[in-house]
Structure 1
Amino acid sequence: GARAGDKSAGAVADSGTNFMLVTGQYGTLLIRADGTYVYLVDNSNPTVDALNAGQSIQDVFTYKVRDAAGATDLAQLTITINGANDAPVAASQRADAIEAGGTL
């Protein structure tokens, strides 16, 4: 896994809490010091929002890993985002009517 101190392009490290945030194309990757990670998809991204059920996109992160001896290598983490049908959203509608003077 990734280790604390390993850097990725666009990474922001937080030395107080031992994690790193990396902004991807479709979300943000939080990498913890122990190598575990959490990916937070950006549902407000138009490309993500447009995904339908059965469609997917990938967010790819390239990072450097380092072993105990100090040797390094590049690795990739690919996150697949699967589309889903969104619930319908009701929009406010307005209707106007003009009654033309009739008698009952």
Structure 2
Amino acid sequence: SCINATGVFAETVMQLDEPNPGIAVSPSQGIHLVVDQSFFPGQQALIIPKTDDGRVLFAVPWQGKVILGTTDTPVNTITAEPQPTEAEIDFVISHFNRYCSKSITRADVLS
């Protein structure tokens, strides 16, 4: 047995062994934003179990910052260094602003 844990590149790796593997992977990308912990103080994480479109989002404290995410956006082109879309960034910011006492802007995104 062999486990192919190559994510969006799984189909490419399968084709190294079998030209027509019969399994298709639907590529997508997800983003995470990093902001200062002042937007979500404390040491507890937050999960938003259902957003407007049914996604799950989370906020996790990490080294004086907070990681916000994630999205899952279908893509047609697989790249080694995907870039977030404007819509993904806006989605994460707007949903977390419903729960934060201090509003996040694009200028507040560190990474």
Between structures 1 and 2, the one with greater helix share: 2
More relative contact order, 1 or 2 (CA 8 Å, 6+ apart)? 2
